[in-house]
Structure 1
Amino acid sequence: MWRLKGVVARIKSDLGMSPLEHPSDRIERHIRVNIYHGICSILAVNMAAPFMGIFAVKLGASEYQVGLLSSGPALVSLLSMIPGGRFMDKRARKKRAISVFIMLQRVFYLFIAAIPFFVPDRRAHLVVLAVTAMNIPASIANIGWQAFISKVVPAERSAEAFAARSRLMNLTGTIVVLVAGRLIDIAGFPVGYQIFFAGAFVLSLLEIWVLGKVDETVDEPEGNVETSAAGGGAAAAAAGNSGHDDGAGSKGLLRRLRVPDPFLRYTLASVFFYLALQAPWPLFTLYQVKVLGANNTWVSLLNLTNTSGSLLGYGFWARQCRKRGNLSTLAIASAGIFAIPLVYAFSKSLLTIVCFNLFTGAIFSGVNLALFNRLLEVTPEESKASYIAYYTTAINVSAIFAPMVGVGLLNLYGFRVAFMICALMRLSASLFFRLVQRIENKASLRAQGAVM
């Protein structure tokens, strides 16, 4: 009882800002508030997102439309990421803009809840359209948050801080999915879905309020912020405004367009990785629902075991990130994901998949942690939001085609062969990260030799 009171008192203290905080105390509070925000965010998202595929199938969505639930959002992200990143880089204060975009995204949950009231032949189309459109503000909010939080949480604390955040997010999110899935099944279609989609919007208001409790420190007035999204620097900006000839302006442009080699290599490897990662995603949903007969309760159990594995994995992978570095950890962790499609290829029981999800969660905790931390490492500090946008745009190019690749393999070869091909793609993607790691190590040795 006393411990619970202490936790409540700590949360109340953290959510009240004090301008007289010592800088080290402020960092610790930011880390904790970041965890609270993550919990509120996953509460809102997991009341709706895990059930969107089944909801679409129940509304009559075809296999092609189920694939569009993944590739559609990727397409609009491709169009919105870079403008969104530039917009965020121009904002000295990003928190308010992030909150607005979160709200714009979550409003779509209310629209999706109302779709069963439309005529039957339009419902599946409207779900695909809504899920696609809501990803425009969602992608911009995500870019802004990543750039924002990289200023709030120091790099030396990122592995520990984001591991703790992810661990508690997964635990909370799984409990929500488990409860929501069961209650949706009890309430029935479509009322159960409508209740929880509307509830997701309500919880997003709490998420935005908690985000507002991070006191955003700004080093310079907004009017002095560089407007160059590619991060050309003050010198390049001055050159562009001082009446130099076209040749000087062209050189400044080339400097702004030059992409750091580590960022470029990491982005190329990630594009192939996400293609391999996402290709079997629509196949998983179709196999669970149409072949194995999964309902929302089974979906909840799958999430539960996945989270249980991640709770075990995050602490281990955070230590590996500190010990080996993020890129090396990513190469190791990503090697295990090829086994997931293989299990689906030979599984005839939902229980088998549920049990295997313990391994899946443990592996993906390492992949997700290392992916995010490595991205923060290779993005230039002065234009972080824009480079995150470039990266996310690039991986969304693959995400547009990945679900269609998976569905195409399904139509050509059936589930088993399609899953096996996807497994080989995932193994190749892991080897690509290993290759990038070797290139980075050689580049580091050359740089050390040049200094000596």
Structure 2
Amino acid sequence: MKFNENEKLSIYNGLASTAATNMVNGYIPLFAIGVLGATNQQIGLIVSLPSIIGMLALIPGAIWLNRVQSKKNFAVISTLLTRLLFSLILFVPFLGSPYAAWALVILIALLNFPGALSGLSWQSMIGDLVPEKRRGDFFSSRNRHNTIAAMAVTFGTGLFLQQFDKDNALPYQVLFIAAFLFAVLEIYYLIKHKEPVGSKKERNTEEKNKKLSLNVYKHKPFLAFVITALLFGFSSQMAWSLFSIYQIKEANATALWLSLFSVTNQLAQIISIKWWANAADRRGNSFVLFIAAAGMATAPALTMLSTNLVYLTLINLWIGLFVSGSNLLLFNQLLKASPETDRTNYIANYNFLLSIVGFIAPQMGVLLLNGFGMNAAMNLISLFRMIAAFSFLFVALKFERKMIAQTI
């Protein structure tokens, strides 16, 4: 596929963003537990609190974004603020126990306010810049490039951290500085994007006075997407903090093993992502999403079969095959279900609800862990994920086929 200038810049932007985030994000639980002494409750809050802060950002964010002349400039400013707040984690270890762990929780929560605005504006901007007929090929290519970069950065970071003691804060602080330097590149390539000049004023006139409204749910394709995506999101995010707790506390995974988990997961994504894009073109997003989500449903149950680190590495290889499909197809389906004339409001409404789910689901996962133990909790989450997967199949068989028949 031949890329135009904006698509090339988006790939470069994605590579820099991937380096900036993967250099640190995957090791935040290890940093929190090993260096700061965080509890299970604090790990759960690190996962869930950003969502509620993001939810609070989306209400004014959609209104602000509809009023600005340039979605790109909005994305640049919000991304810069996000990276600046993230770099402050560099100073957290100096606070000492017990304040350092809570400071990390608060900082990660707060940075998600501009982070949510950054994600919203980027999604809306890229939806305008990339025509629907090019999205499948473009996003699969972009995701593949990002995954290769993530794999290299994650493995290199794991090797670097492995040279130091688990409770040593210095290597993490070095990584925070390096991540910020990559973030500067990320913002540079974002600035270089070129928005269609002729559409700015027209879009601004159409959307200026629009606000978040329940009217978006009258659009049946969007309503069907929201219901199924939120079911899947809730069941998926219930296990996020539990995976980290299990790998670090029960399987005793070091930074190197955590990097191997990520690298094998990312390798599987590289291998499979083109297949998912082609399968969606042939069969439709919702049906293929059912396959991807069903594969994701096996992850918690399979993880619980052993604490052997080699086995867990292989399980992450298996999971990665379905992660790539879920990520690619959910985003494509969001853009497809959101009318172009008011896409910002549709995306904002979806992200608003997803933020509520993102706050509640990890806390529910921790409650299941505390109430039933790790094994029962993870198996229950696998069951919930499979139910969510079948919701995609229901939409594919009942809703989408009915709509197609009505248009013939």
Shorter chain as denominator, the TM-score bin is over 0.9
* Aligned residue in 1 for 2:175: 196
Shift of 1:224: 3.2
**C-alpha distance in 2 between matches for 1:345 and 1:445:** 42
Question: Is 1:211–2:187 an aligned residue pair?
Answer: no
* Aligned residue in 1 for 2:16: 40
> Superposed, which structure 2 residues align to 1:31-430 within 5 Å?
31-58=7-34, 59-188=36-165, 189-220=168-199, 222=201, 224-230=205-211, 259-430=218-389
Shift of 1:371: 0.2
Picking from 17, 29, 32, the partner of 2:5 is 29
CA radius of gyration, larger in: 1
Whether the 8 Å CA contact 1:82–1:386 is kept in 2: the answer is no
Deviates more, 1:87-96 or 1:151-160: 87-96
Whether the 8 Å CA contact 2:62–2:211 is kept in 1: the answer is no
Whether the 8 Å CA contact 1:33–1:210 is kept in 2: the answer is yes
Shift of 1:121: 1.4
**C-alpha distance in 2 between matches for 1:199 and 1:380:** 39
* Aligned residue in 2 for 1:440: 399
Whether the 8 Å CA contact 2:216–2:346 is kept in 1: the answer is no
Shift of 1:431: 0.6
> SS at the partner of 1:60?
coil
* Aligned residue in 2 for 1:237: none
Matched to 1:175, the amino acid is: A
Q: 1:257 to 1:38 in 2, by over 3 A?
A: closer
Q: 1:50 to 1:433 in 2, by over 3 A?
A: same
Shift of 1:66: 0.3
**C-alpha distance in 2 between matches for 1:259 and 1:196:** 46
Shift of 1:86: 2.2
Whether the 8 Å CA contact 2:303–2:315 is kept in 1: the answer is no
* Aligned residue in 2 for 1:243: none
**C-alpha distance in 1 between matches for 2:51 and 2:386:** 23
User: Deviation per CA, 1:44-63, whole angstroms, max 9, x where unpaired?
Assistant: 11111111111111201110
Matched to 2:174, the amino acid is: I
Shift of 1:257: 5.8
**C-alpha distance in 2 between matches for 1:141 and 1:97:** 8
Shift of 1:393: 1.1
Matched to 1:54, the amino acid is: L
Q: Which runs of 5+ in 1 are unaligned?
A: 1-23, 232-252
Shift of 1:157: 0.8
Q: Which runs of 4+ in 1 moved over 6 A?
A: none
**C-alpha distance in 2 between matches for 1:131 and 1:229:** 31
Whether the 8 Å CA contact 1:46–1:176 is kept in 2: the answer is yes
**C-alpha distance in 1 between matches for 2:275 and 2:320:** 12
Whether the 8 Å CA contact 1:282–1:406 is kept in 2: the answer is yes
**C-alpha distance in 2 between matches for 1:218 and 1:144:** 17
Shift of 1:196: 0.3
User: Deviation per CA, 1:200-233, whole angstroms, max 9, x where unpaired?
Assistant: 11211100111122211132454635313349xx
Whether the 8 Å CA contact 1:81–1:139 is kept in 2: the answer is yes
**C-alpha distance in 2 between matches for 1:278 and 1:126:** 23
> SS at the partner of 1:346?
coil
- Give the TM-score taking structure 2 as reference length: 0.94
Q: 1:220 to 1:312 in 2, by over 3 A?
A: closer
Shift of 1:29: 2.4
**C-alpha distance in 2 between matches for 1:229 and 1:279:** 34
Q: 1:195 to 1:380 in 2, by over 3 A?
A: same
Matched to 1:73, the amino acid is: P
Whether the 8 Å CA contact 1:93–1:218 is kept in 2: the answer is no
Matched to 1:211, the amino acid is: L
Whether the 8 Å CA contact 1:92–1:225 is kept in 2: the answer is no
**C-alpha distance in 1 between matches for 2:32 and 2:362:** 16
**C-alpha distance in 1 between matches for 2:199 and 2:51:** 34
Whether the 8 Å CA contact 2:158–2:258 is kept in 1: the answer is yes
**C-alpha distance in 2 between matches for 1:69 and 1:301:** 23
Q: 1:57 to 1:98 in 2, by over 3 A?
A: same
Q: 1:333 to 1:209 in 2, by over 3 A?
A: same
Matched to 1:267, the amino acid is: V
Whether the 8 Å CA contact 2:216–2:222 is kept in 1: the answer is no
Matched to 1:274, the amino acid is: G
Q: 1:352 to 1:332 in 2, by over 3 A?
A: same
User: Deviation per CA, 1:381-415, whole angstroms, max 9, x where unpaired?
Assistant: 11211211100111221111111111111111111
Q: Which runs of 5+ in 2 are unaligned?
A: none
**C-alpha distance in 1 between matches for 2:226 and 2:294:** 18
Matched to 1:443, the amino acid is: K
Q: How big is the alpha-carbon RMSD for the aligned residues of Structure 1 and Structure 2?
A: 1.8
Matched to 2:12, the amino acid is: Y
